[in-house]
């Protein structure tokens, strides 16, 4: 089983057309409870946890604090470990900034995103990249983040991925979105547009579920 690089399996990422219209603040609404919690399950075993806290700040910004941990073992042997912490800052429905630290199998990466005009500048491990027009991170906790074909970057290392997105529009499957291409994902959103779960195939062919 290939384990190295599994962190990318826990990020839902895609990229779209630059210059798309931003999602309005009214469309990007946090969970009523102010939290998101998922267990990460593979082959029936819980291998990690995902937790986000949503904080309405006094300056009218929305802050999203996320902590993800995952570990894959074979008996007493640890094959893979991940710890990911990020703080997203949203203002008027747009990502205003992001601070992220990820440790994967002992390898540490630091990501910072800062808004400059209409674009975001990502700095990964101290190296600044080119501006990305109105981009959003791969957390995709709101269905509205998929609207407008905005560029979406890996909130772990800042990399962009080319993925096609299709969201079902029938009454029975409304809120189910499928990603294909570089990454294969099925995302489920509740009626209020908040992420309710997701699944994807791992590198060894097993299925990973957020539930």
118-137 per-position pLDDT tens digit: 889 999 999 999 998 888 88
Confidence of residue 176 (pLDDT cuts 50, 70, 90): very high
Lowest mean pLDDT among 115-119, 157-161, 179-183, 187-191: 179-183
User: What does the pLDDT read at residue 145?
Assistant: 87
Q: What is the mean predicted confidence (pLDDT) over 37-64?
A: 96
For residue 142, pLDDT over 80 is answered with yes
The overall average pLDDT reported for the chain is 83
The pLDDT assigned to 202 comes to 84
Contact of 85 with 101, CB cutoff 8 Å: yes
Cα–Cα distances in angstroms (integers) from residue 28 to residues 3, 109, 174, 203, in the given order? 35, 28, 18, 33
**12 pLDDT above the threshold of 50:** no
């Amino acid at each position: 089983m290939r384990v190295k690089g599994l962190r990318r399996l826990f990020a839902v990422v895609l990229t779209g057309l630059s210059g798309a219209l931003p999602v309005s603040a009214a469309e990007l609404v946090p969970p009523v409870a102010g939290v998101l919690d998922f267990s990460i399950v593979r082959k029936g075993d819980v291998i990690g946890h995902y937790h986000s806290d949503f904080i309405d700040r006094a300056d009218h910004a929305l802050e999203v604090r996320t902590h993800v941990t995952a570990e894959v073992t074979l008996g007493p042997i640890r094959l893979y470990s991940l710890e990911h912490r990020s703080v997203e800052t949203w203002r008027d429905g747009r990502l205003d900034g992001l601070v992220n630290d990820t440790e994967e199998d002992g390898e540490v990466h630091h990501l910072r995103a800062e808004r400059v005009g209409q674009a975001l500048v990502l700095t990964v491990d101290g190296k600044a990249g080119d501006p990305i027009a109105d981009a959003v991170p791969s957390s995709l906790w709101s269905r509205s983040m998929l609207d407008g074909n905005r560029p979406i970057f890996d909130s772990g290392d800042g990399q962009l991925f080319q993925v096609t997105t299709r969201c079902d529009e029938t009454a029975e499957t409304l809120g189910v979105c499928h990603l294909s291409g570089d990454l294969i994902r099925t995302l489920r959103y509740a009626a209020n547009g908040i992420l309710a779960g997701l699944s994807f195939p791992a590198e060894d062919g097993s299925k990973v579920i957020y539930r």
